[in-house]
Structure formats: structure tokens, C-alpha cells
Amino acid sequence: MTDDLAYNAGLGNAFETEALPGALPRGQNSPRKVPYGLFTEQINGTGFTVHRAENQRTWMYRLRPQILDRAYRERPVGRFVADFSEAVQSPQVLRFRPRSMPATPTDFLAGLTTWAGAGGPSFRKGAAIHLYACNADMVDTAFCNIDGDLLLVPERGRLHVRTELGRLNVGPGEIVVLPRGIRFQVLLPDGAARGYVAELFDGHFQLPERGPVGANGLADARHFLFPVADFEDDPRPWTVVVRQGGRLWEVEAPACPFDVVAWHGNYAPFKYDLDRFNSLGSVSFDHADPSILTVLTSPMDTRGRNAIDVAVFHGRWDVAEHTFRPPFFHRNSAIEFNGVVRSPSATGPWQPGAFSWTPYLAPHGVSNRTYEDVVTASNAEADAPERLPDSSLWIQFESTYLLGVMPWAFDDPDRDGAYLESFRDYRPHAKVP
């Protein structure tokens, strides 16, 4: 995707950036007199006393303080929720056609629908998965999610994400992470957009440990891009919407909140091009676990359980010999949400925008037709190297949490009722006495 914006690069780096020369104070963070008469504000993404390597915070130097002299009023939440008391813990695997686009003007915030979740923001534990479909810009409106970090995966249409710390252009094939507490606005350069969202109520997204893989492979920190300072002195009233404790609140601010002239720190939104991911796999026999395709993760404990793993499946070589090449039949100790971003076919059950759901430890695998095609192929055909096309790109959210599906999903007209038919009539090949 062509992108004419400037960026900082490197996940985990501490950046400093200024839109006006000399706007960033030197030698200290909060001088009595800030250059240009700016106001100083710090945002902390972690507790004060965490290990230095885990500490996240950013100092901002802005035209106006964000504290307001007026009261918030509550706003309807619609189907963008953080209360999962009615979520259904069903063992049923599901598949959905691409979500229908709205028939009336709908901005990003109004176009968010919660798909599944567990836990909640009040106790800072759990995670959620949402979908978005929108066709209008957020006009003079900024959104601030106090509840969790949001990871957006555009499937259709580009997003121009304007944040307090600068701007990011994000299109299909990329992801963007918006940390909790950072105010942002979503504009739609293509007029319509659709995609998937993962929300993390505790911790932050980070690179997975490489372990025996070594120093290289998977996602490289230098390919993660962060905004540079970009401000506007706009004294017109703006609406600021805040999500806290699963509720939406709004207030009319006296001016545009995107007025940060300079900032430094390591707590900031960022984006990543999934095509830059260096996929690893087997070069002899059998499948490696899908954990080697993890882009970002959020560890939950020391037993290998993660709040959310974000994995990518894109163009790559598959070369394993005398091996059942598709994913074998399996039951994983995690939920799986698989979404199609790109597909060689614009039609059929796995077109862009389609997605599937596999509950915790639910049996799943390939269709009976695919199974027959694989096991009846000749050895030469089955062992030939195969190039998975670059026109295919899927994302996967995995979570150790028992995410429940929201009740409105089961009656959604986009639910694919024919999905289970593909698992009928497996023909036994075993020859036993």
C-alpha cells in the first residue's frame, strides 16, 4: 500500500519527535516553562514500579490540557460491549460469510460489533473479539478506549487513523495497535471499510520470544512503524467519546484533542505490514505448531498460556515430505478465530471477509473432500513442494480464555449454515481385521 506519511521505526524503542523545531524540552521532562508555552502531559501504559524493560510511558507537549470543565454524559453502547454475562459457551464450530455493510452512514465507532469475549476491564483480565463495518468518517469526534488495547485488522478499505501522537495509514494486509487511553479518530479514504478487532484488557501486545529459533525470523522489530508528531490548532468544539467499564461516555471538548506538538516515549500506537512476516515451517516431515506463525502475543502466565496470540498465514513454501499437508485433525487448548483478509477467489465460502470460530478443545480439521484429495494422491503429487499463493492472507486470534460468543451472532443472517456439511461422510481408510 502506498503511504506518504513519515514514521518512526522499531517496536520497543523510545522515540522522540517534534512537529516544530525545539518544541521538545531537553534535559528534563517537565520544565516550569515549556518551549512555545506548551502544556506537559504524561500518559502511563504500565504501573510505575514494573521492571524497566516492561515500563511504558510517553511525555506529550500540547497546546491545551485535556482536563475539561464540563461533565460527561452516557451514550448508548449498541453492540460494542464488555459485558459477557450473556455470552454463550457453546462447543459449536461456526463459519460466517463476510459481514454485510451498513445501509446508512455509519462511522467506525458506530460500526463496531462485539463477537466474543471473556473477563472484563473492571478486573483487568480477559479479552474480546469485535468486528467493524463502516462507511463514514468520524466527524469532529475522537474515541478513547480506557478498557483495553485494540488491534485492528483491515480486510476491506483503508483506514486513516489520526491519533494524539500522529497519523497512521493502515490498509488490508496491515494491522494497527491502539493502546488504551490514546485518543484517535478513524477516517475512510476508500469510503467504506471492514475488518476484525482483538481487544486486550490486561497487558500489552508484544513480540513473542524466539527461543530455539534464534535471533532472526518471525516479525522483526524494525518493521513496526510509529507515528511522528503532527498537530492541529483547531478551536472548534469536538466530541470526545470514552469507553470505560464497558460503558460509553461523551463530552463536548472546547477544541480538537489532536494538538500534541512534540512527544517522547515508548507508549504509542503502531502499525505492521503482515507481508513482512518471515514465516518458518517444517523442511522435513510433519507440521510445526502454529505458534511459529505468531506476530504478536500477550503472555498470561508462565505455563505457555497467552491472553491473545495474533498469527498470520500468508504466501510461503510448504515442503514437508510423506506428511498430511493440511492441518491435521486437532483439538487445541485455545479458542481460534480465523479471518480471511485476501483470497485467490472473490467468491465461495473462504472469500475475503469470511471468518470461522473454533471453541476451546473443539475437534476441527479439513473437510471430507480435502481429506480424500490428500490421502488418495500419488506420492509424487503429495510430496511435491507447494507454493501457497501471495494472494492468500489469513489472520488468527488465539486465546486461552474461554471466550463466549455473543447471543446475536447465532441468529446473524451472515452465518453460514452449510459449514457443517463439509464434515459429513468421511470414508474410513483403515483396514483392520
Catalytic residue among 287, 322, 330, 364: 287
The class level of CATH for 7-85+115-274 reads mainly beta
| Mean of pLDDT values over 298-327 | 90
- Annotate 309-334 with DSSP letters as a single string: EEEEE-SEEE--SSS--SPPSB--SS
The class level of CATH for 277-421 reads mainly beta
pTM for this entry: 0.96
Amino acid making up residue 207:
L
Query: Within the chain, which residue ranges are assigned CATH 2.60.120.10?
Result: 7-85+115-274, 277-421
* 50-79 pLDDT, tens digit each: 999 899 999 999 999 999 888 999 999 999
* Cα 225 from chain centroid (whole Å): 15
C-alpha cell at position 46:
504500565
Dist CA 355 CA 97 (whole Å)? 7
- The residues facing 96 across adjacent strands are 355, 415
51 is known as an active-site residue: no
Dist CA 296 CA 242 (whole Å)? 26
pLDDT-derived band at 325, boundaries 50, 70, 90:
confident
- The residues facing 8 across adjacent strands are 226
* 167-176 pLDDT, tens digit each: 999 999 999 9
* 193-212 pLDDT, tens digit each: 999 999 999 999 999 999 99
Mean model confidence pLDDT for the chain: 95
